[in-house]
Amino acid sequence: MTFKEKITSSITNFTNIDMPDYTRDKMNLYCDFIELIALFSNQDGTSYGDVQDRFFGTKDYNSSNQRDEDETWLLEVLLIVEERINLFGNDYPFDFQNSEVLKLKEDLSWKNKMYLGMLISSKLNIFKSFKTELTTEFETISYYVLKNFLPSNSVIKEFGKNSEYAGNAKAKIRALASDLGLKIDEDELEGISERNNQERGLDIIGWIPFTDRCMNQLIYLAQCACGKDTESKYHDTRRFENYLNFYKTNPQHIMFIPYSLINPKKNKFYHSDLIEKDFLVFERKRILDVFDQEETFSGLDILKIVDACTIAVTDLV
């Protein structure tokens, strides 16, 4: 498929969804979908009435109570939009004029476009024709986030799609163990097939080395997840606690996700019950705050996808 065909396919996928099938409690995900409506509306924006028509326009109500419940729920979703305006500040790419019309800003900064890139990356079911580009480049962005977050003497390496390590999974893990100065649990490693060339769930690794080469050091194991099944990936990096004998201190596990999870009212994550303990989570807000490589972002396909999505739909199809 050409780039234009992929964009057209994404728009078609989006157009065919009147209302996403998330459970009602995942209001932050519905907020993402409303932001997509505003993105594809270009400078027209979208209002409460527009969203109400899209979500419930064909619904037959048996009682006024059901209608009231839907209207109240939608107002609660739109309140999250107002929370995001304060939370993201200048990085938020939309204006919410008089709390009525959500509209794309006319002059988008590169951070505004990066926000939209994270939004698009969190909707692989819609942008599935770009899945390879989005997941690969989200890993690249996450690499720089971890690099910026950890001390300057840290070592950061990619282990997933952009791996610096060659060979099958066993060879990669052995090379990683050598770099870390750690011993391998050969019995556990033996269970990996020689034909397995995947990363075994580890996308990025970082560590803060000492000059003494003692195995006791701070190590960070990171997984990048764009899809809807984020919860299923929390065990992936823990697998490396079987392969490698971490000495006297457990590794810190990290999850990078393009979703917006910060609940500013409660100073916690939305759906925090789905996030495993002992994980450091980088979601949309934290990624935007820590990533500062504008030149790197300018060279990514994610930016091209964002730019194409800001063009009026009629100009593309």
pLDDT in tens, 251-292: 999 999 999 999 999 999 998 888 888 899 999 999 999 999
Per-residue pLDDT tens for 123-151? 999 999 999 999 999 999 999 999 999 99
The secondary structure of residue 208, as a DSSP letter, is: E
CA dist list (Å): 298 to 118, 121, 144, 163, 282: 14, 16, 14, 22, 21
Write down the pLDDT at residue 63: 78
Among candidate residues 288, 279, 289, the one with its CA nearest the CA of residue 251: 279
Q: Tell the burial category of 193 from Cβ atoms under 10 Å away from its Cβ (0-12, 13-18, 19+).
A: exposed
CA dist list (Å): 49 to 34, 52, 58, 181, 242: 12, 5, 14, 60, 53
Q: Tokens 């391998």 belong to which residue?
A: 184
CA dist list (Å): 282 to 51, 121, 287: 29, 14, 6
Q: Rounded to whole angstroms, how far apart are CA atoms 117 and 124?
A: 12
Question: Which three-class secondary structure state does DSSP give residue 269?
Answer: strand
Question: Which three-class secondary structure state does DSSP give residue 129?
Answer: helix
Q: Is the pTM of this model over 0.85?
A: yes
* Mean pLDDT over each residue of the chain, to the nearest integer: 91
Write down the pLDDT at residue 199: 60
